[in-house]
Structure 1
């Protein structure tokens, strides 16, 4: 258990407990012989004793490991939403973790992920834990990553979209933000406007105002606290905003 819990504990805060912590404990027990749920609970108790309590007035500052564990748990829910676990989706998760974390950390994370997938998890309970401890910008990034997983098998089925929509609701992501991120993964007419959260009928000045607003909302600097490893996804999301704006400008001759 030693090296694995050392890896976990190094970057975990709020996800070491609650329903996410329970999923982690189950996952470890699924591949670590002789490890019991009680042992993981003791690890949690020991960790909480060492952890400094967060003041209600403190700024939410999500640790890299917390974001990582939240991704693993939510991804396992989305992957199973269409009734099967597609190998291409698993490969996408693995490739994303390799690009973000490097080989050793990605191998640990994916080993954990394969255990988490086996457990039935309440999306609502997990999302309550996340939204109470994670910034709005970080929650938007989670939704972006989940759509990437759903699209990994080249076809997003309705069950996956509905599951991500349900998760977004639990995370207090509003409908406009959800539709904006969703549109980043489709090449359909009018999607550039959806990404900027405006209608086709708006004026050029309104397009510019919408663009400036979205730049502020999705700027990668808002996710600096998650560590450099998570900025790649943030930059991809930000680039979608740039591309949408350029497409509208070209269409209108702005």
Structure 2
């Protein structure tokens, strides 16, 4: 119990407030043995000291809750998607921390009447754009875990992106990283196939600034891994177009 309390309290800031905080209080109090309302109140008092900062745990909780919306979007819970969440957390945070997270995730995914709008708006208000883009990249990977992104899942991803204030260009760029076709590389760089070489280079520089892993460095080294994967897709798209054009 002590280790779970330490894990939860040490990494959360603004997540203990608003609709996410209410959800956590309900789930932890009903799912995690030995956890009391007093524990939640103490954590909320801790969070007041850094309420405007996004800590690693805030990003982690955001991943878990938004994952539940995507997984349940098509009306079923696919084991491959659950396995993806567990594997991702083990890769990012290590086995012990992942086990704690997955205990919480079981309560989240079984919760009813969650508002994707309220949850997403709280995340948007507190989290920088670079981190929100990283969240969206992860959610696309999750939706693709069972090899196909269904229309219902894509609709949910659209909805979440809208609430997170991720514009259509950024959304389509991330989406193109998971849909391979003749236009994918251009969509990743947010340009048309008719773009000039000069426009191509400018678009690449812009994407580097927007998606550079250093943008989420404040979350901790564990989050650089996911950001680097997304950054690599941008570099690969640029190199592919340059090769096609003989540049």
Deviation by residue 1:72-115 (Cα, 9 ceiling, x = unmatched): 00001110001001000000000000000111000010111111
Q: 2:232 aligns with which of 214, 223, 239?
A: 239
Q: Note if 1:141 corresponds to 2:134.
A: yes
Aligned to 1:226: 219
Distance between the aligned counterparts of 1:51 and 1:14, measured in 2? Answer: 6
Aligned to 1:43: 39
Query: Aligned to 2:137, what secondary structure does the other structure show?
Result: helix
Distance between the aligned counterparts of 1:30 and 1:81, measured in 2? Answer: 25
Q: Is the 8 A contact 2:11 2:58 kept in 1?
A: yes
Distance between the aligned counterparts of 2:239 and 2:147, measured in 1? Answer: 25
Aligned to 2:71: 79
Aligned to 2:196: 203
| Structure 2, gaps ≥5 residues long | none
Q: Is the 8 A contact 1:130 1:171 kept in 2?
A: yes
Distance between the aligned counterparts of 2:39 and 2:219, measured in 1? Answer: 24
Per-residue deviation at 1:46? 2.3
Runs (4+) of structure 1 exceeding 6 A deviation are: none
Aligned to 2:110: 118
Per-residue deviation at 1:30? 4.5
Structure 1 residues 115, 197: closer, same or farther in 2, change over 3 A?
Answer: same
Structure 1 residues 68, 235: closer, same or farther in 2, change over 3 A?
Answer: same
Aligned to 1:96: 88
Distance between the aligned counterparts of 1:34 and 1:248, measured in 2? Answer: 57
RMSD: 1.6
Q: Higher relative contact order at CA 8 Å, sep ≥6: structure 1 or structure 2? A: 1
Q: Note if 1:152 corresponds to 2:148.
A: no
Deviation by residue 1:145-179 (Cα, 9 ceiling, x = unmatched): 00010000001101111101100100000000000
TM-score, normalization by structure 2: 0.94
Distance between the aligned counterparts of 2:103 and 2:120, measured in 1? Answer: 22
Q: Is the 8 A contact 2:25 2:40 kept in 1?
A: no
Query: Aligned to 1:155, what secondary structure does the other structure show?
Result: coil
Number of corresponding residues: 246
Deviation by residue 1:36-86 (Cα, 9 ceiling, x = unmatched): xxx33x33332333444569xxxx642100000000000011100010010
